[in-house]
Amino acid sequence: MKKKAIFLDRDGVITVERGYAISSIDELELYPFTAKCVEDIKEQGYLAIVITNQSAVAKGLYTEDDLKHMNQLVMEQTGIDALYYCPHHPQGIVPKYTMVCNCRKPKTGMIDQACKDYDIDLDNSYMVGDRACDIILGQNVGIKTVLLNSGYGESGLEEDCSPDMIMDDLREFTDYLIRYRSKD
């Protein structure tokens, strides 16, 4: 049986957006409401899956091992089901990660892999993010999209996009999910 998923961007959605200011695990800050929101998502019958571009690896700001430690902390402290990341960037300085890939949002590689790993029902799934690339990714795979203003949001969009919904933060989205599901 296929599973519904809420695909979540990391920075600006479940962690405080700091741009490239995060250079170590000590600077990674979860929103205080993240774990409760993930719990609410799962209680509504969805998988909670993080889909995140992390080009700081390609740009030499930290190593992939540093990123893996950050990801492990995020998973332990939030209860998310899975976390997929893209360490690549075409203008990186670390040769191993300097490339055009199919996983960098808004390309669909990370969601494609999650669908293979978890048998995702895209017709009943959402992409929740704070940037245009998150919204365009959701549109590229044909799922509902939610733009949050807790990170870059409406005022920081790097290109035009049309999300299905715009909300303040992950709390508002999970409240919506609970209300929406209670109507079933």
Tokens read off for 20:
């490239």
What are the domain boundaries of the chain? 4-182
Identify the pLDDT of residue 161. 94
pLDDT at 184 over 60: no
Share of the chain above pLDDT 90, in %: 88
| Residue 20 φ then ψ, to 5° | -95, 15
CA–CA distance, 37 with 172 (Å, rounded to integer): 9
- Predicted structure pTM score: 0.95
Of 17-21, 140-144, 155-159, 180-184, the poorest mean pLDDT is in: 180-184
Q: Reply yes or no: is the peptide bond before residue 87 cis, omega within 30 of 0.
A: no
pLDDT-derived band at 21, boundaries 50, 70, 90:
low
pLDDT-derived band at 156, boundaries 50, 70, 90:
confident
CA–CA distance, 27 with 16 (Å, rounded to integer): 10
Is 11 designated active site? yes
Q: Tell me the DSSP string of the chain.
A: --BEEEEE-SBTTTB---GGG--SGGG--B-TTHHHHHHHHHHTTEEEEEEEE-TTTTTTSS-HHHHHHHHHHHHHHH--SEEEEE---TT-SSGGG-S--SSSTTSSHHHHHHHHHH-B-GGG-EEEESSHHHHHHHHHHT-EEEEETTSSTGGG-SS----SEEESSHHHHHHHHHHHHHT-
DSSP 11: B
Q: 4-182 domain in CATH 3.40.50.1000?
A: yes
Average of pLDDT values for 52-61?
94
The model's pLDDT over 76-134, given as tens digits with 9 standing for 90+, comes to 999 999 999 999 999 999 999 999 999 999 999 999 999 999 999 999 999 999 999 99
The model's pLDDT over 22-47, given as tens digits with 9 standing for 90+, comes to 767 788 899 999 999 999 999 999 99
| Residue 47 φ then ψ, to 5° | -80, 145
pLDDT-derived band at 19, boundaries 50, 70, 90:
confident
pLDDT at 20 over 70: no
Identify the pLDDT of residue 182. 61
